[in-house]
Every structure is written in C-alpha cells, then in structure tokens.
Amino acid sequence: MIVMDGVSLAKLVIASGNRHKYEEFRGLLAPLGIELLFGGDFDAPIEVEETGTTFVENATLKAAAWAQYAGLPAISDDSGIEVRALGWQPGIYSSRIGGEDDEACRQWLISNMADKTDRFARYAAALVLAFPDGKPHWHTLAYCNGSVIQDKRGTNGFGYDPLFIPEGYDQTFGELPASVKSRISHRAKASQAFIEMLHSLRSR
C-alpha cells in the first residue's frame, strides 16, 4: 500500500467527468495497482468552476473539490494546447474557446491559423493530487511539443489530436496508435512524473 503524508493512496478519484481522460489515465496508471474511481460514475458528480489563470491552478481547484466531496484522495489534470502564433492561445480555454464541443474548437483553431506560417504548438498538462483536507499535496506540469496542421487527420484521441503532430513524427495524435501516444503525450509525461513520485514513496 502506498501512503503519503499519512493518507492511503489505495483508491484515487479521477476528478473529471470526461471519460476519455479517465480511460487514458487508467491505462497510464495501471502499473501502480491503484483503484481508480471515475468522477462521472458518482451519483451526483460535481461541476467545478475553472476560475484559475493557469493549468496548475485549474487542476488544483478540481482536485481539491473532488477530494473533499468524495472523502478520498483525488487527482486532476488540466490540459490544453498552446499555439505560439496565437500568443499561446487557446491555453486554459482549449476545451471551450470555439464552442461546447471538440469539433467547434478544432474549427476555431483551423480558422485562426489559416494565414500563419509559424505552426509551432505544444500540448500542456498539469497534474495535481489533493487530499480530503482540500489541500494540494503534489503537482507537476508537462509538455509535448509539435506543430498544428490545417486539415484534420485521423480519428483516434480527442480534442485537437487530429490537428497536432508531435515532434519527431509525421502523423497526428489522431493517426498515431494509442501505444505511442501513451508514451510521448503531455498527459503521459505528467503521469510518469506521478508514478515516479509514488515509486519514491514505496522505496522509503
């Protein structure tokens, strides 16, 4: 059993109603043998207003609220895409800048990048662990650099994945198999930092 600051991490709440994120985390964190609970499966899932100005602040708000609500440790990510030619937009507004669904947001990006030659972009993911006392006890911020294209390619993943080509590859996250994305993505890097932190606890 993994214990941190006197709190058991045998069960963790994934502080999100996004099943795509839950399934991705379940795969990434499988080596730990921790029971992961999906926020969307609770009888009355809570909605947390994301009033932070950074990915870390928003992830902290969600993790703390869910930990207090569930009475269990909770882990939350806040992630998005940052495009250099757009002044690092959409950033924390990635999931809603174009509307209420992924396709509307993708179309916003395509439209705003139509006349841009600088295609550099990066996916960012902040990961925060909070306990039922409502305080964050660990966090990390990870990036996956790449570029954005004008025409969607691939049907894997979600969000901006069909428009994002990670550095070192010629396929989008929408085309690359999940086995590759689970090694190189922003969320994979953040999760790996979390796993390494937990392994350090085990070795004490």
CB-facing half-sphere around the CA of 60: CA atoms within 13 A: 14
Sign of torsion over alpha carbons 51, 57, 63, 64: negative
CA distance 5 to 7: 6
115 tagged catalytic:
no
Active-site annotation holder among 78, 101, 102, 161: 78
Q: With CA atoms as reference, report the closest residue to 25 among 5, 46, 39.
A: 39
Residue found under tokens 């991705």: 24
CA 201 to chain centre: 23
Q: Just list the catalytic residues.
A: 78
